Amino acid sequence: MDNFTHDPTRICALILAGGAGRRVGGRDKGLLCWRGRALVEHVHGALAPQVNDIFISCNRNRERYAQIAPLAPPDLREDYQGPLAGIEAALSAINQEFILVAACDTPRLPENLVARLALGLREAPHAQVAHVRVDSRDHYLCALLRQESLAGLSAYLNSGQRAVRHWYAQLNAVPVEFPGQQEAFMNLNEAEEFD
Q: What is the CATH number of domain 8-193?
A: 3.90.550.10
Annotated binding site for Mg(2+): 105
User: For the whole model, what pTM was predicted?
Assistant: 0.90
**Rounded distance between C-alpha atoms, residue 86 and residue 19, angstroms:** 9
Domain ranges across the chain:
8-193
For 92-138, how does the pLDDT look when each residue is reduced to its tens digit (9 = 90+)? Answer: 888 889 999 999 999 999 999 999 999 999 999 899 999 999 999 99
DSSP of 52-90, one letter per residue? SEEEEE-SS-HHHHHTTSPBPPPPSSSS---HHHHHHHH
Instruction: State residue 5's pLDDT score.
Output: 57
Name the burial class of residue 147, with classes exposed (0-12), middle (13-18) and buried (19+) by CB atoms within 10 angstroms of its CB: middle
pLDDT of residue 13: 96
* Dist CA 57 CA 15 (whole Å): 6
As averages over each run of 10 residues, the pLDDT of the chain (195 residues) reads 64 83 66 91 96 93 94 80 88 89 94 94 94 95 94 92 93 95 80 53
- Tell me the Ramachandran region of residue 98: left when phi exceeds 0, alpha when psi lies from -120 to 50, beta otherwise: beta
Annotated binding-site residues read 16-18, 29, 105
**Which residues are documented as binding site for GTP?**
16-18, 29, 105
